[in-house]
Amino acid sequence: MHRSETITLQKLKSTISRNGMLPFFNHQNIDCVLEVMKILKRCECDVFEFTHQRDARGIRMFAWLADRAKELGITMGAGTILDASQANRYIRVGAQFIASPFLHEDVAQACHDNDVLWIPGCTTLADVQQATAWGATAVMIIPGNILGPDFVKQVVTIHPELMCIPSGGVTVAKNNIGSWFDAGALCVRLGDALFTREDVAVKDWGKIESNVFHAFQGVKQLKSSILRTKSISI
């Protein structure tokens, strides 16, 4: 995939916000990852994060999967990126966004230079402030189960222009997801909650597809309900 095919940052942010769910997954078996991507597309979720695996196969897998993502109409990014070297390698083979668990100015610069969305992990308001100073327009709130929705409310109050994506400890339970959207999150990042190790181990794709479908439908309904409520209150 050539960089000239990269979608605009605004369109990408709109896609992530519209989906309301950022699924992430990684597996040593490339066919398993492709099956997950096909499930996501059948469930009408068209954004996906392939988390970096710490061996040479990761980049090769991503490059092949990026071509499959294009065929499926899925926007695909790379996650758990730790430095600019990794970021640049994934960007060269088609990553449309880069997610990092920590703040790294060199990763921010690599994304900026390539017009690619950077989503850094933030655990404090100081982290959020630094991320915005380095040009971030979307941040991961991690660990979500420790910081909680009240932290998202604080971030949104101070930086209403930011896209907040809670991650870690986020479940598909209606009250859990609802609390994040009510706090102002535009998206939730989900991994094991969608693709449990047990289901993946036995390749129970039917059960996984059911999980993804119900989670995605629940997310859309919750977001719609919360937006209607806020509109009425205004």
* pLDDT tens for each residue of 168-203: 989 988 889 999 999 999 999 999 999 999 999 999
Task: Please give the Cα distance from 12 to 46 (Å, whole number).
Answer: 11
Region 82-103: what's the mean pLDDT?
95
**How many CA atoms are closer than 13 Å to the CA of 97, on its beta-carbon side?**
31
* pLDDT tens for each residue of 23-60: 999 999 999 999 999 999 999 999 999 998 776 788 99
* Domain 3-229 bears CATH identifier 3.40.50.150: no
Region 130-135: what's the mean pLDDT?
97
Domain ranges of the chain: 3-229
